[in-house]
Chains A and B, each alone.
Chain A
Amino acid sequence: MLLSAFTEDLLVRVYSKLGSDSDRKTWRLVCKDFLRVDSVTRRSLRVLRSEFLHGLLSKYKNLDTLDLSVCPRIEDATVSVLLSQAVNSVSWTRWVTRLVLSRASGLRYGGLERLVGACPCLEVLDVSYCWGYGDREAWAISSVRGLRELKMDKCLGVSDVGLAKIAVGCGKLERLSLKWCMEISDLGVDLLCKKCLELKSLDVSYLKVTSESLCSIASLPKLEVLAMVGCPFLDDYGLQFLEHGCPSLQAIDVSRCGCVSSSGLISVIRGHRGLAILNAGYCFSELSAMVLHSLKDLKNLNTIRIDGAQVSDSSFQTFSTNCKSLVEIGLSKCVGVTNMGIMQLVYGCVGLKIVNLTCCRYITDEAISALANSCRNLVSLKLEACDKVTEKSLDQLGSCCLQLEELDLTDCCGVNDKGLKYLSRCSELLSLKLGLCTNISDKGLAYIAHNCTKISELDLYRCTSLGDDGLAALSSGCKNLMKLNLSYCNGVTDTGVQYIGRLGQLSDLEMRGLVNLTSEGLTAVVAGCKKLSDLDLKHCGNIDDSGFWALSYYSRNMRQINMSYCAVSDVGLCMVLGNLTRLQDVKLVHLMNVTVKGFELALRACCVRIKKVKLIGSLRFLLSTEILETLHARGCKIRWE
């Protein structure tokens, strides 16, 4: 009655304030009016269950984003059906500008052509990790004249010809990622740079392109972001082209380019004073004084990553004086990072928010304290394998850096319960990694659980001192937990795991090598965590078929599962693979109780939706060719161990 007083546009305004999917779901369930508001207003759809797709698309007419990346069973036929309904009524494709088809490996050029052809307003297309895509699919994509953004990561079959198709067809392209499109060479990149002059962002990472490509890329007038990670044939000579080209370049990533050295980097810096992001990790062994000196010209530099470089205290001195506006610094695996260096750095760069000190082993509490004191806005700090860090650091962080959202303390032996108590004052923490911190116990975890209620990702890998009580605390405190790693926490038993079942938001759960875990515990988890989509049960040898039966019944959203070394039988495996209709990625090595017949049957049961499967190599010759062919044809990748 009260609700009927609200006009529809008022409801729409309220609806637009809703933050999360679960809130919107609640909204939809209120009444028909609310449902209608939802269907009229909703712009974006990410579908997990392809069988609902048909109905959903007929309901939501005003979609601008359709995400099918987590949806199994997207094939040419599916597309035909989805498009066929448009004939009768107004097409749902009318306003679609953004299409995410990542990992939709079952979709081939026929379907792709139909789909993109039906979306007249399409501007953004993501076909990354469709590993089977080749030039024909590129051809289909090239028919989208208005395309502005295209992501083709790991479309392994796309060659220069396909790229040429896209370059000619999609002349308005602004953002393009060609990462891991291994067939593409200089020729394709050259043509791209001649045809798509609007390009603002280009990713050619891991391609076998040479300096010739850089010569072409340098001619792009509007390029702002250039990523060239791991291009083994790029060298300083190529970077010299960039010095005089790409006037608006703001971000460049040359990490892992083995042939790039300081001189190449200097020439890029010299040419682009407006550079804001510089990633040169694992490029050169030593950060030369010349590079450091040239950095002072980069007034806008806010991010620099020099992972793996040899640095000295004076380097940090230069950073401190020249790069005042630095927000992010990556020093992972840098040699020569000392307390003194860090103290000098933070003296000047007080605005740092993201600091990566992974494997800087000589860092002690002194440096972290200085960091925490200076950089009050710290958001992310990675201290993996900094084993000299103790509770004193955490004390400082807990008192100074209240904005901290991400902290990686993996393999920091100095972290103990007391430290976690200090740390728990960072109530904004979203991600905490405590892997291999063997000194923390249930008590420490309880501090975190009580205070850091926003935590969504927690890594407790091999925290062997942890027991069931810690998990009990966790389940009551961190209700927002989405990702949890309990692998090899041998102290955890069924009792503890049963608490996990109370975490309703949990989607990723790793429980490798939990020898005490039985079917009882697994049943509790899967019954409770309805959103579970990624489960790792490798080496959980004590789970029998009844656990997997429960899994196959409850985990309707499961997308990825690792059952290697489990004691599952033929029936159990068939149940899991057959009934988990959203399953897309399974690892099934060393299943001792499963026969070849069992594998065959299980794969037949799921081959329509599975996208990736890992099997023991000997099965290659034992499974029928029919099933292997079918899997291939459906775009499923088989990894043989």
Chain B
Amino acid sequence: MDHKEMPRPTADTWGKSFPSGNELLKNISSDDTPLTISQRPQQKWEDPSMLDYNTRIEPPFQEFKQRSETQSSLPCNPNNQNKVTDEDVQMNGTIQTEKIQDWDPRAMLNNLNFLEQKIHQLQDLVHLIVGRRSQALGRPDELLAQQKQLITADLTSIIVQLISTAGSLLPSVKPLSGTTPTGQLGQLGGLFLPSTVGPNGSVQPQNNGGSKVSDQSNQMDITVNCGNEQNYNVEEHESKDDEDADEGENLPPGSYEILQLEKEEILAPHTHFCTICGKGFKRDANLRMHMRGHGDEYKTPAALAKPNKEATSEPMLIKRYSCPYAGCKRNKDHKKFQPLKTILCVKNHYKRTHCDKSYTCSRCNTKKFSVIADLKTHEKHCGKDKWLCSCGTTFSRKDKLFGHIALFQGHTPAIPLEETKGPTVPPDRGEGNEAINKVRSINFNFGSNAPNGNEVQNTADVKGNIEDPTGYFSPLNFDTWNFGGFHEFPRPPYEDSESSLSFLIPGSCNYTVPGSCNYTQKTGAESSSNNPE
């Protein structure tokens, strides 16, 4: 594990990219060594924004944190987990068809209703406490502290919810209503939740719990991981029909609404935030899945349903997106402006075109990407460019290689060195290669142990040996034949010089090579022991 992670710019990836962090999680969850688990919170602590988070939110919040910890770890019971992933899959399907929805007034309304309810609940609670206080003044401080905790927790959750509701407005509000609200909101985010813009997974309170809850947190990771992985899949899927795909689309100007996201938003990893714990998500569906962990009220079909399902029936103006980069063809001020179809297109376009390519392929160390999905796609095929020309050019497809060879005089396909006999091995020759190596090693005086597989070496050795033909015993050289103990073997009474040799096991007589010693002795012994006489 450690070695694997070494080349990664760990702090960076943690900070910037969710998916790569994800992969790390994957590794962890697959290996689940205690070492890596403990390593994780450590990195968290190092994260400056995380420290920020902790200092800002002062003691009461820490208490809340503990509570929410227990809450959030609830859905992570193995029993629940299956269900979660199942439904995730289902939801995912709907996501794919529907793509990302950003600001939606109905969702906003839902959120506000929810807030209202929450405030009412809190009101009731405080009323209750007030009532009880008047009844029993002499209660121990313990209960009082509990009540206090409860209230602070609820209050914090309301605040978070409020901020996130405002945050969900961000992308859509901006292009419509100028810059001022954006600034405000951004400030808000910066003030209270550094995690909204900053490092993605930082609001995962359960991770701060340390070793005590490490098991649970690990489970949680898995669930989260599942969700995100699916996200990633979806993204990858979509990345194929991204900005270039709508090239041919010719919507008359004005027939659609142009939205333009700001750079910060485009680069922000998440657009949906949990109102309770503040965890960020790329998709509302995943958020809804997540919400179930915060209480039964989120498990109702109404809460799980897509909030804007009815909204689709309303006639909506087609939305198209503009790239915020001035001068870009995808920018609405460009003469030949070509709008982008979806937010995802915007994101991918912006990252690919206007950002550094910060993701380097770990296999070839040459190809760089700015979109992580592109890296993943590349890595899937990287090194699989098995169609290699003698000139060193690699091709992912055979026909491309053959086209290349047809074009250039003298170029030939290179036969990979490590491939011993690849396709030539018939199915029933399971251990054929091994055997070949073995026998070769016997023939060619390889020394004591035959190297496993490396054919190049074999050839080299063969040639090396051939230089010195006296170095090994030829199968034709009768004088060198020597068979101990073979005279006892039953032979016809006729004298025949060849037949006397013929019973010898291959290799036993012909090749008296150190490497073959075992074999020779063994077979020799066996055959003499099997002597039917």
Q: A570 near B: Cβ within 8 Å?
A: yes
**Which B residues are in CB contact (< 8 Å) with A84?**
466, 469
Q: What per-residue 1/0 map shows which CB atoms of A275-298 lie under 8 Å from chain B?
A: 000000000000000000000000
- A139 interfacial by beta-carbon distance below 8 Å: yes
Task: Check A478 for interface membership: any CB of B closer than 8 A.
Answer: no
A558 located at the interface, meaning its Cβ lies under 8 Å from any Cβ of chain B in the complex: no
Which residues of A from 585 to 635 have beta carbons under 8 Å from B? 597-598, 600-601, 604-608, 625-626, 629-630, 632-634
**Interface locus among A8-16, A183-191, A416-424:** A183-191
B219 interface residue (CB < 8 Å to A):
no
- Tell whether, in the assembled complex, residue B492 and residue A132 are in contact, meaning their CB atoms are under 8 Å apart: no
A607/B506 in contact, CB under 8 A: yes
Q: Give the residues from 450 to 465 in chain B that come closer than 8 angstroms, CB to CB, to chain A.
A: 455, 458-459, 462-463, 465
Partner of A191, one of B405, B478, B501, B503: B405
Which chain B residue lies CB-closest to A83?
B466
Q: Is the CB of A157 within 8 A of B413?
A: no
CB distance from A283 to the nearest CB of B (A): 30
Interface membership of chain B positions 389-427, coded 1 if the CB is closer than 8 angstroms to chain A and 0 otherwise: 000000000110010011000111101000001111110
Q: Is B379 an interface residue (CB 8 A)?
A: no
Of the listed stretches A32-40, A72-80, A91-99, A509-517, name the one at the interface; the rest are far from the partner chain. A72-80
Q: How many A-B residue pairs have CB under 8 A?
A: 184
Assuming the A-B contacts A139-B415, A571-B490, are A632 and B476 also in contact, with contact meaning beta carbons closer than 8 angstroms in the complex? no
Q: Please, how many angstroms separate the alpha-carbon atoms of A593 and B366 in the complex?
A: 67
Whether the pair A191, B402 counts as a contact (CB closer than 8 A) is yes
Instruction: Write out the residue numbers on chain B whose beta carbons fall within 8 Å of the beta carbon of A50.
Output: 475-476
- B432 partner residues in chain A, CB cutoff 8 A: 629, 632-633
Mask, A507-544, CB within 8 Å of B = 1, is 00000000000000000000000000000000000000
Known: A134-B424, A571-B490. Is A80-B469 also a contact (CB below 8 A)?
yes
Please measure, in the bound complex, the distance between the C-alpha atom of A84 and the C-alpha atom of B467, giving whole angstroms: 8
- Asked if B187 lies at the interface with its beta carbon under 8 angstroms from chain A, I say no
Whether the pair A625, B431 counts as a contact (CB closer than 8 A) is yes
User: Which of B410, B435, B490 is close to A633, meaning CB atoms less than 8 Å apart?
Assistant: B435
What is the CA–CA distance of A579 and B503 in the complex, to the nearest angstrom?
Answer: 7
B498 touches A51 (CB 8 A): yes
Decide if A597 touches B502 in the complex (CB within 8 Å): no
Residues of chain B within 8 A (CB-CB) of A54 are 474, 476-477
Interface pair A604/B527, CB less than 8 Å apart: yes
A156 and B424 form a contact (CB under 8 A): yes
- Report yes or no: B405 in contact with A581, Cβ–Cβ below 8 A: no
Chain A residue nearest in CB terms to B533: A571
Chain A residue at minimum C-beta to C-beta distance from B522: A626
Find A549's partner among B436, B476, B492, B498 (CB 8 Å cutoff). Answer: B492
A133 on the interface (CB 8 Å rule)?
yes
Pairwise interchain contact A53-B476, C-beta atoms closer than 8 A: yes
- Could you tell me the distance in whole angstroms from the C-beta of A407 to the nearest C-beta in chain B? 40
Cβ-based interface call for B530 (8 A)? yes
Instruction: Determine whether the beta carbon of A76 is less than 8 Å from that of B410.
Output: no
**Complex contact A51–B476 (CB within 8 A):** yes
Q: Are A81 and B469 in contact (CB under 8 A)?
A: yes
Q: Given known contacts A132-B424, A601-B527, is B502 in contact with A579 (CB within 8 Å)? A: yes
Q: A194-B406, A630-B439, A633-B438 are in contact. Are A168 and B476 (CB under 8 A)?
A: no
A135 within 8 A of B: yes
- Cα A159 to Cα B419 in complex, Å, equals 14
Contacts of A579 in B (CB 8 A): 491-492, 496, 498-499, 502-503
Alpha-carbon gap, A632 to B477, bound state (A): 24
When chains A and B are docked, how far (Å) is the Cα of A608 from the Cα of B499? Answer: 14
Find out whether the CB atom of A160 lies under 8 angstroms from the CB atom of B398.
yes
Contact A634–B423 (Cβ < 8 Å): no
> In the complex, what distance in Å separates the CA atom of A581 from the CA atom of B499?
8
Most chain A beta carbons < 10 A, residue from B411, B423, B501, B519: B423
Docked-complex contact B527 and A159, CB < 8 angstroms: no
Q: How far is the CA of A76 from the CA of B444 in the complex (A)?
A: 9
Known: A77-B475, A133-B424, A135-B415. A605 touches B505 (CB 8 A): yes
Q: Assuming A77-B443, A134-B423, is B415 touching A161 (CB within 8 A)?
A: yes
A598 to B434, CA, bound (A): 26
Closest to A155 in B: B424
Q: Is the CB of B527 within 8 A of A73?
A: no
B467-493: CB near A (< 8 Å → 1, else 0) gives: 001001011111000000000001110
Contact A165 B435 (CB under 8 A): no
In the complex, whether B532 has a CB less than 8 A from a CB of chain A is yes
Collect the chain B residues with CB atoms within 8 Å of residue A51's CB. 475-476, 478, 498
* Residues of A with C-beta under 8 A to B458: 110
**Cβ-neighbour of A553 out of B443, B499, B511 (below 8 A):** B499
The reply to whether B439 and A169 contact each other, CB–CB distance below 8 Å, is no
* A142 interface residue per 8 A CB criterion: yes
A168-B412, A552-B492, A633-B435 known; A76+B462 contact, CB < 8 A: yes
Bound-state Cα–Cα, A549 to B503, Å: 14
Contact A630 B474 (CB under 8 A): no
Is the C-beta of B212 less than 8 angstroms from some C-beta in chain A? no
Considering the complex, give the chain A residue whose CB is closest to the CB of B402: A187
Given the contacts A80-B466, A168-B411, A634 and B502 also touching, CB distance less than 8 Å: no
Q: Which residue of B lies closest to A109 (CB)?
A: B459
Cβ of A574: which chain B residues have Cβ within 8 Å of it? 490, 503, 532
Residues in B with CB closer than 8 Å to A131 are 426
Question: In the docked arrangement, what's the CA distance between A365 and B519, Å?
Answer: 67
The smallest C-beta distance from A154 to any residue of chain B, in angstroms, reads 12
Which residues from chain A contact B510 at a C-beta distance below 8 Å? 77, 608
User: Is there contact, CB below 8 Å, between B469 and A164?
Assistant: no
Question: A578 near B: Cβ within 8 Å?
Answer: yes
Neighbour of A78 across the interface among B402, B476, B490, B507, CB < 8 A:
B476
Please list 29 pairs of residues, one from A and one from B, whose beta carbons are closer than 8 Å in the complex, sorted by A's number.
A51-B476, A51-B498, A73-B475, A76-B443, A77-B510, A78-B474, A80-B469, A81-B475, A81-B476, A132-B424, A156-B424, A157-B423, A165-B413, A165-B415, A191-B406, A553-B494, A575-B492, A578-B503, A579-B496, A579-B503, A581-B499, A581-B502, A605-B505, A608-B507, A625-B431, A629-B434, A629-B435, A630-B435, A632-B429
> Residues on B close to A: CB < 8 A?
398-399, 402, 405-406, 410-413, 415, 421-426, 428-429, 431-432, 434-436, 438-440, 443-444, 455, 458-459, 462-463, 465-466, 469, 472, 474-478, 490-492, 494, 496, 498-499, 501-507, 510-511, 519, 523, 526-527, 530, 532
Closest 5 A/B residue pairs (Cβ): A157-B424, A134-B424, A84-B469, A629-B435, A608-B506
